[in-house]
Amino acid sequence: MARSDRLIALTQALRRHRFPVTAATLAQEMSVSERTIYRDIASLEASGVPVRGEAGVGYVLEAGFDLPPLMLTAEECEALMLGARFVRERGDEGLVRVIDDAMAKIEAVLPDEIRLALRESSLFAPAFGAHPAVTISEEALRRAIRENRKVRLHYRDLSERETNRTIWPVLLGYFERTRGLMAWCELRGDFRHFRTDRMLALEVLDAHPPRRRAVLLKEWERSMEHYRQQCSGGSCETAPQGKQRPTKPI
């Protein structure tokens, strides 16, 4: 790799890391020596790139710095197209429309040889058949997640029991044959998973959960890790109420 290309790649790597990253980590990512990273960091600082940090502690790119527009490589185009194909196969109609618009915008600014790589990507995202029919607006559900709003949900569980719940949506997962929402359920006082095809009605409320979505996400991750640890020890059946159920859709 040419040194100029390596400096651009190093700047991209620094921008990708949100917290200080060591020279050893950067060296491993870029397949060079730590000494090379030290020299390249010095070159970036000399050219005015605001890199903050020191050897042995870590480096971070200061907020507000931006690179000029960079042309995508053929491999980056293939990765983007793979992701787009996954969205087209697993996303709802709203997401399919969004990904088509996004890919059209990207294609419009690419040179001919790179545009060909985008259209003729060699990476494949298989289809797994049609998803079950969904009656609620998944676009409204995604909006509730983005805006951190509570949702009133009329739901039919796997035992065909219907309940009305107020939930705090956190994540919407796209799986091979279903889509599922991870949320805090006020009725159960715990995290639960809800399949979108079993949602009968949905209303996005004006009220916000008392905790930010990022906080709820961390709490859910801890609960899932606790559950995995219990299962690895063979104690799933005896886990406390609320700890063994989060992984099961209801």
DSSP letters, 12-68, are HHHHH-SS-B-HHHHHHHHTS-HHHHHHHHHHHHHTT--EEEETTTEEEEPTT--PP
Instruction: Kindly state the tokens that stand for 188.
Output: 């159960």
| 42 assigned to some structural domain | yes
As for how many domains the chain has, the answer is 3
Full domain range(s) for residue 51: 3-61
DSSP state of 119: H
Please check whether residues 82 and 56 belong to one and the same domain.
no
| 69 assigned to some structural domain | no
Domain harbouring 224, CATH code: 2.30.30
3-state secondary structure of 96: helix
Question: Rg for the chain (alpha carbons), in Å?
Answer: 23
| 124 assigned to some structural domain | no
| 109 assigned to some structural domain | yes
Please check whether residues 28 and 104 belong to one and the same domain.
no
| 130 assigned to some structural domain | no
Domain harbouring 45, CATH code: 1.10.10.10
User: Parallel, antiparallel, or unpaired: how do β-strands 179-185 and 190-195 relate?
Assistant: antiparallel
Q: In whole angstroms, what is the distance from residue 213 CA to residue 217 CA?
A: 6
| 151 assigned to some structural domain | yes
pLDDT one digit per residue (tens) for the chain, 250 residues: 677 778 888 888 888 887 889 988 998 988 899 899 889 999 988 888 888 886 667 898 887 666 555 567 778 788 888 888 888 877 777 888 888 888 888 887 777 777 777 777 777 777 666 778 888 998 899 999 999 999 999 999 989 999 999 999 999 988 877 889 999 999 999 999 999 999 999 999 999 999 999 999 999 998 888 777 777 666 554 433 334 344 455 6
Please check whether residues 196 and 222 belong to one and the same domain.
yes
| 229 assigned to some structural domain | yes
Torsion of CA 169, 173, 174, 179, to 10 degrees: -60
